[in-house]
Structure 1
């Protein structure tokens, strides 16, 4: 932060506090924002050869924005990462312009480079079922096999992120018909728990050699500590090799599959958005691999004027 003027450093800190308090961004997101904007402010200091105060930031031009982006691209920053950095800088500038009363057109009009979005790749329904069956065969100990099945069943049956499944504690057992899940950015959602998921967790708890304690992790590692996500990633990697599935068949792919298969069965896109905990419907659209024709079909069936 030594290249950044005290006034800019204070403004950045106030903006980050506002982002965390008002928008509920996760700590990792806040730190990514801090790094991106600090990098931008440091570049402007070096570019001008002197510390940049708030008034200097108001005068940043389009050509200076292009110079910053060219420097990043020259340093090997990809289009996707550059777009993320520009988004953070624009968000900071919107806030700063409103607070300081200047027009941030040069920054806000800067266009991000185009990049091809990577769409998620869900498993086919039979492959998802086969994954759960094959995961059970990977462990030597019965309780470990039951644990792995329970976790993967929660990912596919309830659309949980792996961090959310492994964040469950003994106080959540036995699993109720619905779970309150605290997701990204501290957003809470209610998720129905299907009977096979409840049964899988009950079987695991019955076989687990460690007692279920309210404050302790529900899913235990072999030594009794919290289960590491890498253990589930590893068991799924072995299972997908056995099944001949691609490397995209990961724990996160089970969540993709949950959403895609729900939609294919006639589920409402907005309801699926709520189940996944997405802030934007466009995120759910990408997540469920929905094409334009399928979206129009859902729209025509659900819209009151259709």
Structure 2
């Protein structure tokens, strides 16, 4: 985030109340830290900036004075709870409250590391407990429609074949988008089993069904760029490795054309892979292996999705539903 953009954010009408120059210096330094050293995403940095600017403004009124950096040493957990309670009254959800508290804790970590300001009370604060969000897979028909329609919206035939191959890998093999786009040209011709290095360097072997292999081989035939062991497998239009943002944009276009909900994302195709296997009685441990989950508990969320689907079927079809 550029300096001028950050300055406009911190000086917005919402955050200008009780703003003191010293506070802006403190906040700017912290945001530089989380952006450059912790490498947080730009959206997260911006959210932290708004949350902490609101927190500083609250403290000015709450304490009855302009705050300096040393004031943070003497805050109590009750002060933080009072701020979170106000944000709750303003309509923030549990997830947003948890994010605000995360921003405050990260800020205190920075204060301790860079200014020697400790406050043990803050470390033990806990945010609202959030229930595990169920994955939102697309339906079987929606997945097929997305894959079959992708070619029609492409500017060139080879790009259409590429988009079909990418979406087919996500739905037909359960790959993450980063895993699919990280493939190199040594997977041509498409093998029966694909060696994938996933999160945390965890390696897994994923079988490729004929439909997936055909889509990959069709793309290779159309692709105008050289595909070899030293090159990317999936190319962008300008001859560089295909980026996730391009796939996400393609899916957004397909979503609009097909009238699908906003939850129909590239990752929803991976969710659909797992959910549809489970619906057809695949073993949960096998699905765990295919997805590359380190813990079975991560895979078990899909049983909740399947239960929801079954309840919906019973409710709609049972005479007493």
Change (3 A) 1:92 1:120: same
Task: Tell which has more relative contact order, 1 or 2 (C-alpha 8 A, sep 6+).
Answer: 1
1:265 pairs, out of 270, 274, 280, with 280
Change (3 A) 1:125 1:35: same
Render the CA deviation track for 1:34-73: whole Å, top value 9, x for unaligned: 758865874586464455557x545432331133224545
How does 1:6-17 map onto structure 2 within 5 Å? none
Aligned to 2:224: 209
2:214 pairs, out of 192, 199, 219, with 199
2: CA distance, partners of 1:70 / 1:95: 24
Aligned to 1:178: 194
Does 1:80 pair with 2:100? no
Structure 1 window deviating more from structure 2 (162-171 vs 45-54): it is 45-54
How does 1:12-161 map onto structure 2 within 5 Å? 31=45, 35=49, 42=56, 46=60, 48=63, 49=65, 51=67, 57=72, 59-70=74-85, 72-73=87-88, 77-90=92-105, 103-104=120-121, 108-112=124-128, 119-139=134-154, 141-161=156-176
In the alignment, structure 2 segments of 5+ residues that lack a partner are 1-9, 11-21, 310-321
Q: Over aligned residues, Cα RMSD in angstroms?
A: 4.7
8 Å contact 1:121–1:289 — kept in the other structure?
Answer: no
- 1:147: how far off? 1.0
TM-score under structure 1 normalisation? Answer: 0.65
2:202 counterpart SS class: strand
In the alignment, structure 1 segments of 5+ residues that lack a partner are 295-306
- 1:122: how far off? 1.6
2:247 pairs, out of 190, 215, 229, with 229
8 Å contact 2:52–2:104 — kept in the other structure?
Answer: no
2: CA distance, partners of 1:159 / 1:268: 15
1: CA distance, partners of 2:292 / 2:163: 24
